Every structure is written in C-alpha cells, then in structure tokens.
Amino acid sequence: MAQEEEYQIPIFLINGQLDSGKTRFIQDTIAMGQFAEAKNKLLIVCEEGEEEYSEKLLKDNGVDMVVLEKEELTEEKLNELDKEYDPWIVIVEYNGMWDPALIMATAKPRGWDIYQSITLVDAASFNLQWNNMRSIVAETVKYADMVIFNRCKSGMDLGSYRRSMRALNNTLQIVFEDDKGEMMSIAEQLPYDVNADVIEIDDADYGIWYMDVSERPDVYVGKKVRFKGQVLKNKYFKDKNFVPGRKVMTCCAEDTQFIGYISFYNDIASLENRQWITVTATVKVEFQMAYKKKGPVLYVEKVEPAEPPVEEMVYF
C-alpha cells in the first residue's frame, strides 16, 4: 500500500482580549495578501466584537468564515469543518477569556497544526487588565510566539510592559505599534547608571536589572554590580557556586519562582541558605550546564549580611 502523502494545514492563532484589535489585524493581514497562495482559507471566529468582518474582503480573498461558541470547539466540529471547507490554512480569532489550553488540547483533523500564535494587546488598557485579570492575560501570552502592543503613545511605560511579558515567556517576540499601526522602537530608561564604576541596584529595581541583563548580557560584561539577594544553595551546585536572587510573582500567588544568576564565590561555606546578603560582583558571560547555553554569571568579590527588603517579592 502506498504511503499517504504528508501535508500540513497551518493554524494561525490570534488571541487577545475584547477590543484588542484582533479583527482589524486579521483583515489587514488578509488584505495585504499574506494568505493569497492558499486556495481555500477558513476563518474561525470565537468572539464577535464591535468591529465586524467585511463580507466583500472575505469573498474577494476566498475566505470562508464560521463562528463557534465555546462548547462547539470540539474534535467532531473541527472534523466537520475540515470536510466542508477543505482548508489549506486556518485562521482562528480566539476568545481571550477562554483558556488557550482548550484549543491546544483539542484533537484536530489530520494535518491541522498550530503554526503561529500571536496575542494582541491594547496598550491603553494594559495596566487595567494586568492589575485586575493578570492570570487571564498571562495565559494568552505564555504559549504565544509574538505579542503586539497596539495603540501605543509616548509617555507609556512600554519598558515595564516588555519586562512583564518577558517574565512570562522569555522567547517571546514583542512588537509595539502606535495608533496608526506603525512600529515603535523604545529606549529602555534604566533606573540606575549602567556606566557607573559600581552599578548600584536598589531593592525595588532588582527585577528590571535581572531582565535587562538577560536580554542584553553583552552590555554588562566586565561591569561591577551591587545588589541585595537571598542565598540559594543546593546539591546540584559545585562547591563554589550559589545563586543570590529574589522570588518573583509573574501573574498570581501560585505562580512564583526564584530568579538569579549562577555565581562563583570562594567562601560558600560561610553562607546560609535563604540568608539575605548584599553582593558585589563582576558580570561575565559563560557556558553553564544549568542554562544549557552561554549566559550571565557573577564572580562575587564581596558578601555582606543584609536585612530583607521592605518588599521581598519582585513583581513584573
């Protein structure tokens, strides 16, 4: 028996909260001809906002649209759509209030596979959403390939938006657009002097420093830094390794983790686990098995006992 030909039907998953610009983004993408090579195109809409799709645009570009309720997002329904429309690509406007695990886990017709996941965010509403429904917003980002902040304006703290997203997904591509859809570049305004003889990190700025070192390690190579952290030692570290760091909450109390960089110190035995210390160290970039790649490491020159910060938890 001849082996069946393998083929892929890519799913473009567009997520975000109501009025985040999903419909406009999809229509603009279709109008630009991004999917023109696909003979049959299926648009699955899981949320109907104020902006409606142009029937003419969809017809002119050979796009069939169906609207699905949450209970209809099943293997059986997707198989029906596959047989009826025989799509070459599938575009899904997802409902930002639904758990992305629903569509990720739902069995799909042969060949259907999520190719790209993009989350749209209205920058003007981000602070309100982040403060009031953080866990829901976080789920739309954790498994995304790209986040697009639209309707950005000068004066917005876009650097903090980027750090919040990176804390959830450090492989994420993050794009900022103004209200005309033009891409914006942002210059991170750091709360410390990166060119100082010793970079002094205030307790409240630890998260900013940690994320910037992660994103731009080369900027810090050879620089001396001083900050307050908690000692983490365990059996997997070598005799001269420990991690001075802080606990961070990314979206909710159940979602906390310890963040810090592997550090070398000649007097590890003098340190107690969970002890608060002030560290003075030089930053280098080296391969570490714990990172499985090259990454920032600290060569500690001085350790001083310290009192815990007023706020021990770091927030993004």
Q: Is 295 helix (H, G, I), strand (E, B) or coil?
A: strand
pLDDT per residue as tens digits for the range 80-120 = 999 999 999 999 999 999 999 999 999 999 999 999 999 99
Separation between Cα atoms, residue 186 and residue 175, nearest integer Å: 10
| Phi, psi at 105, each rounded to 5° | -90, -20
Give residue 310's pLDDT. Answer: 93
Show the low-confidence residues of the chain (pLDDT under 70).
Answer: 1-6, 187-189, 238, 251-254
**Domains delineated in the chain:** 9-184 (3.40.50.300), 198-315 (2.40.50.140)
Q: What is the pTM of this model?
A: 0.73
Select from 297, 270, 301, 298 the least CA-distant residue to 286: 297
| Phi, psi at 117, each rounded to 5° | -120, 120
Give residue 251's pLDDT. Answer: 67
> 144 in the Ramachandran plot: left (φ > 0), alpha (ψ -120 to 50) or beta?
beta
Give residue 188's pLDDT. Answer: 62
Separation between Cα atoms, residue 285 and residue 283, nearest integer Å: 7
Give residue 83's pLDDT. Answer: 97
CB atoms closer than 10 angstroms to residue 246: 21
Amino acid identity for residue 17 in this structure: Q
pLDDT per residue as tens digits for the range 262-310 = 999 999 999 999 999 999 999 999 999 888 899 999 999 999 999 999 9
Beta-bridge mates of residue 227: 279
